[in-house]
Amino acid sequence: MSETATLTPERAADALASSRILRARIEERWQEEFHVIALDTRHQVLGCRMIGRGTADRCSVHPRDIFRFLFLAGPTCRFVAGHNHPSGDCSPSDADRDITRALANAGRLMGIELVDHVIVSSADHNPGAFRSLREERPDLFAA
């Protein structure tokens, strides 16, 4: 499946559904990958793309690269950001919190809501584990 393939009829209506979509793409990776899921008004998945690939413990992305994909994905109204932690520890880093805040702020300006930022673990270390920054740190999403 291509990185921009439409994934219908999948829905990313909550953190668990988003984690499943992300895990299918990045669970087995030994380096961090940052992905974005573009959603329509009903949380139907319009597309998913890897925005960046880093090292075993970090991945640098910029909001302009994320929004470039979102603008081209179709009638995107909201999105989910997500990446993996190959170590198996899904605890968000300071950089994870910083990019979440930056994406939420940029999304408000662009009219494209950041629904969540989900961190998934490596299958080798902690299969099925994930963390939702929306659930743990709603302040990062506030205006």
What is the set of domains in the chain, with CATH numbers? 15-141 (3.40.140.10)
Q: What is the pTM of this model?
A: 0.87
Mind listing the pLDDT tens digit for each residue in 66-113?
A: 999 999 998 989 999 999 999 889 999 999 999 999 999 999 999 999
Q: What Å distances lie between residue 69 and 7, 12, 80, 102, CA to CA?
A: 15, 17, 12, 16
Mean pLDDT (the chain, rounded): 88
pLDDT at 50: 96
3-state DSSP assignment of residue 22? helix
Mind listing the pLDDT tens digit for each residue in 30-68?
A: 899 999 999 999 999 999 999 999 998 999 999 999 999
Across 8-17, 36-45, 119-128, the highest mean pLDDT is recorded for 36-45
